[in-house]
Amino acid sequence: MTSIALLGTGLMGAPMAVCILKAGHTLAVWNRSMDKAAGLAAQGARVCATPAEAVAGADIVITMLADGPTVTSVLFAQGTAAALKTGSIVVDMSSIPPDIAREHAATLAAQGVLHLDAPVSGGTKGAAAGTLAIMAGGTEDAFARAKPVLESMGRPVLIGPSGTGQIAKLANQAIVGITIGAVAEALLLAAANGADPAKVREALTGGFADSMILKQHGQRMLDRAWAPGAPVKTQVKDLRTIMAAAKSAGLDLPIAARVTALYEDLLAEGYGNCDHSAYLLELEHINPGKRLGDKPDQMPT
d(CA 54, CA 34) in angstroms, rounded, equals: 13
Q: Is 237 a catalytic residue?
A: no
**Residue 211 contacts a second copy per CB under 8 A:** yes
Shortest Å, Cβ 57 to a second copy? 31
Give the β-pairing of 120-121 and 114-117: unpaired
Peptide bond before residue 229 is cis, with ω within 30 degrees of 0: yes
For a second copy, the binding residue among 204, 239, 278, 281 (CB under 8 A) is 204
163 near a second copy, rule: CB under 8 A:
yes
Nearest-approach distance from CB 40 to a second copy, in angstroms? 24
Interaction mask 226-265, a second copy, x per CB under 8 A = ----------------x--xx-xxxxxxxxx-xx--x---
Stretch that binds a second copy, among 38-46, 72-80, 140-148, 192-200 (CB under 8 A): 192-200
Instruction: Quickly count: other Cβ atoms within 10 Å of residue 26's Cβ.
Output: 17
Q: Min. distance of Cβ 128 from a second copy in angstroms? A: 14
User: Are the beta carbons of 276 and 231 closer than 8 angstroms?
Assistant: yes
In whole angstroms, what is the distance from residue 52 CA to residue 41 CA?
18
For residue 25, list its beta bridge partners: none
Residues 98-137 that bind a second copy (CB under 8 A): 98, 120-123, 126, 131-137
Using CA atoms, how far apart are residues 272 and 250, in angstroms rounded to an integer? 29
* Closer CB to a second copy, 40 or 187, in the complex: 187
**Residues classed as catalytic:** 169
